[in-house]
A and B are shown apart, each in its own frame.
Chain A
Amino acid sequence: MVKLMKLKKSILFLFCILIGLLISIQSRVITGTFHYISPEILKDYDNSIKTERMEIEQLKILISEKQEKLKAYQSYSGESDSILNTMTQELNRMRLISGFLDVQGEGVIILLDDGTRDLYQGENPNDILVHDIDLLTIINDLKIAGAEAISINGQRLINNSEINCSGHSVRINNQFFAQPFIIKAIGDPKILHSSLSAPGSYGELLREYGLILNVDKSINIRISKYSEESNYKFLKTVEEGEMI
């Protein structure tokens, strides 16, 4: 009996120590080194670090490219012909990526047209018409799938091409077009095709609404260059020494 009492007392003692410990830990949580930080802030930090890291990777590639070019220049010293060649190459590359050269390659040809089905009772006709946001989303989906050059009805899309839905017609690169829209995109035909045909893609959604969207793979597509005159009135290149 005495033994049992002793055991109980020691158990009580142990519990007391445990409680003391827990209380002290708990109080440390509440005061001092711990603060309330919302998950969003931590996520923001994480995101920014990830973003900066990716940009650093890209910068490193750019720098190595420039170093090579500089080395090439320095080795030419005096021979203006070689410099001329390098510069012409670079100029052609710039014109290629900005859409000022005709290009060809494999890709997809897309036909997008208004739906021909009958409307339901009281349905808004807009449901089966092509709008600018449909074109924009399809173009964006193609770019996500790695399209390198895109044109709509022969108009090459460059960085400041607009797609303006104005009533019955659509204005692209300051020229007017009406349905149907023929979109050509150069890139990996399989990926481009699936980006508009996969379940859950925007292309499928348009088909469900009843719009006509046909995607055909092709082994050789030709896309002509941007045909408008580009006048830049407001842009100025940052001069040396000025920080971004």
Chain B
Amino acid sequence: MKIKSGQIVIGLLALIIGLIISVQIHSMDGNVIGGGLVPVQKAQSLAQELNKVRDEKEVLVEELKELETKIKEIEDAESKDDILIRNLVSELDKYKMISGMTAVIGPGITITVDDPAEEEMDYSDMSVIMYNYDLLLSLLNKLNDAGAEAIAINDQRIVAITEISLAGSNVNINSIPTAPPFIIKAIGNPDTLESTLNIRFGIVDQMRNRYNLQVKTQKSDEISIPRYNDIIKFRYAVPVE
């Protein structure tokens, strides 16, 4: 009789152990995929790393600016006594601005596009705006149609060869991976830009009602748009002599 009660206890214990182990494994699992219960440390270290690379970038941007200032100084000094160089400098400035090689400011509009709110999401976990990135193409086209002079998406300046492509879990713009929310800045006549986008059955209307996206447009007197951060080298296209 005594032996039997011992067996029951052991049986119960085994059950509890099994349960605890399974719970334990479950909570460990979260770590492996990268979500769920995660040590705070891991998130903190990621945040620190992000700060570190941001600082590094900041330093490099400063260095680049310094170099550009020095180059400009030399050009200005030369242009003082040479009218040819003076013309060249102003011409160069103009084309640098057009090709997206200088940061620019001006009045314009900021558009924020984000995925549908949590409760309106359907069961797939795919980001709606990333999957339908042609909406971004369309939006850019509408902005250009309304006379936008410079555009950037998530601080990526739109230049003549800018592409938007879906790459895995990112949307690549200028081959830099970005993710929602997409913040689109455009310089141009703020009123024209805004009403072009917000026309009934227009692009914003379509994004909101058909795709449930959260879209905000805001006019502003001063918008700054960064320069294109890469060197464009043509390997196939050569100037016609």
Could you list which residues of chain A lie within 8 angstroms of chain B, going by C-beta atoms?
8, 11-12, 15-16, 18-19, 22-23, 25-26, 29, 33-56, 58-63, 65-67, 69-70, 73-74, 80, 83-84, 87-88, 90-92, 94-107, 132-133, 136-137, 140, 143-144, 147-149, 157-164, 186-188, 222-223, 230, 232-238, 240, 242, 244
| Interface bracket on B | 35 or more
How distant is the Cα of A47 from the Cα of B104 in the complex, in angstroms?
26
Contacts of A162 in B (CB 8 A): 141, 144-145
Closest partner residue, chain A, to B178 (CB atom): A51
Contacts of B131 in A (CB 8 A): none
A sample of 8 cross-chain residue pairs with beta-carbon separation below 8 angstroms, ordered by A number, consists of: A15-B10, A26-B24, A35-B37, A59-B57, A98-B99, A237-B96, A242-B105, A244-B226
Contact of B177 among A54, A60, A158, A161 (CB under 8 A): A54
Evaluate contact between B236 and A37: CB separation under 8 angstroms: no
Q: How far is the CB of B12 from chain A (nearest CB, A)?
A: 10
Contact of B160 among A45, A159, A234 (CB under 8 A): A159
Q: How far is the CB of B211 from chain A (nearest CB, A)?
A: 14
Evaluate contact between A144 and B108: CB separation under 8 angstroms: no
0/1 string, B34-77, CB within 8 A of A gives 1? 11111111110011011001101100110110011111101100
Evaluate contact between A59 and B64: CB separation under 8 angstroms: yes
How distant is the Cα of A23 from the Cα of B95 in the complex, in angstroms?
69
How distant is the Cα of A48 from the Cα of B36 in the complex, in angstroms?
20
Evaluate contact between B61 and A160: CB separation under 8 angstroms: no
Contact of B40 among A34, A39, A43, A105 (CB under 8 A): A34
0/1 string, B14-45, CB within 8 A of A gives 1? 10110011011001000001111111111100
Evaluate contact between A52 and B236: CB separation under 8 angstroms: no
With A90-B92, A244-B226: A159-B105 Cβ-Cβ less than 8 Å? no
Contacts of A26 in B (CB 8 A): 20, 23-24, 27
Contact of A237 among B20, B34, B97, B232 (CB under 8 A): B97
Evaluate contact between A234 and B234: CB separation under 8 angstroms: no
Contacts of B98 in A (CB 8 A): 94, 98, 100, 158-159, 230, 232
Evaluate contact between B57 and A92: CB separation under 8 angstroms: no
With A104-B237, A233-B149: A46-B33 Cβ-Cβ less than 8 Å? no
Within B183-234, which residues are at the interface with A (CB < 8 Å)?
187-189, 224, 226, 229-232, 234
How distant is the Cα of A91 from the Cα of B105 in the complex, in angstroms?
22
Residue B84, interface by CB 8 Å: yes
Contacts of B141 in A (CB 8 A): 132, 136, 162-164
With A39-B36, A160-B151: A69-B71 Cβ-Cβ less than 8 Å? yes
How distant is the Cα of A238 from the Cα of B159 in the complex, in angstroms?
18
How distant is the Cα of A135 from the Cα of B68 in the complex, in angstroms?
38
Could you list which residues of chain B lie within 8 angstroms of chain A, going by C-beta atoms?
6, 9-10, 13-14, 16-17, 20-21, 23-24, 27, 33-43, 46-47, 49-50, 53-54, 56-57, 60-61, 63-64, 67-72, 74-75, 78, 82, 84-85, 88-89, 91-93, 95-108, 134, 137-138, 141, 144-145, 148-151, 158-165, 169-170, 175-179, 187-189, 224, 226, 229-232, 234-240
Evaluate contact between B39 and A73: CB separation under 8 angstroms: no
User: Counting chain A CB atoms within 10 Å of each CB, which of B37, B78, B103 scores highest?
Assistant: B78
Q: How far is the CB of B209 from chain A (nearest CB, A)?
A: 17
Contacts of A70 in B (CB 8 A): 67, 70-71, 74
User: Counting chain A CB atoms within 10 Å of each CB, which of B92, B141, B236 scores highest?
Assistant: B236
Evaluate contact between A36 and B37: CB separation under 8 angstroms: yes
Contact of B106 among A36, A48, A67, A235 (CB under 8 A): A235
How distant is the Cα of A148 from the Cα of B162 in the complex, in angstroms?
10
Evaluate contact between B10 and A58: CB separation under 8 angstroms: no
Closest partner residue, chain A, to B47 (CB atom): A45
How distant is the Cα of A206 from the Cα of B196 in the complex, in angstroms?
28
How distant is the Cα of A60 from the Cα of B53 in the complex, in angstroms?
13
